[in-house]
């Protein structure tokens, strides 16, 4: 399972995305991104999650998000990308 840090905003997005990208390949056939620790974020967090999803899908793996904060879930719905995150509780 991959884990997001507690803060993902514009300043951390690129570094976080690069770190996750490198780790996607070491995961099995199902990539699960744990967002439980995420407490401070902006729309950049969605970009990071979607980049991770793209890497997983390109490698033929499934992708889902666990523990997505309610506010971020609302933001994903507003942007029309909620279904891409396949969020699970």
Alpha carbon distance 66, 83 (integer Å): 13
Q: At which residue do the structure tokens 């997005």 appear?
A: 13
Count the Cβ atoms, other than its own, within 10 Å of residue 3.
Answer: 16
What domains are defined for the chain? Answer: 2-88 (3.30.750.24)
Q: What is the pLDDT of residues 26-73, one digit of tens each?
A: 999 999 999 999 999 999 999 999 999 999 999 999 999 999 999 999
Q: What is the pTM of this model?
A: 0.91
């Amino acid at each position: 399972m991959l884990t997001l840090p507690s803060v993902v905003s514009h300043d951390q997005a690129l570094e976080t995305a690069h770190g996750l990208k490198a780790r996607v390949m070491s995961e099995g056939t199902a990539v699960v991104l744990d967002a439980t620790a995420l407490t401070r974020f902006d729309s950049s967090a969605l970009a990071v999650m979607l980049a991770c999803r793209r890497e997983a899908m390109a490698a033929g793996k499934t992708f889902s998000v666990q523990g997505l904060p309610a506010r971020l879930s609302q933001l994903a719905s507003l942007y029309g990308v909620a279904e891409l995150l396949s969020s699970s509780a």
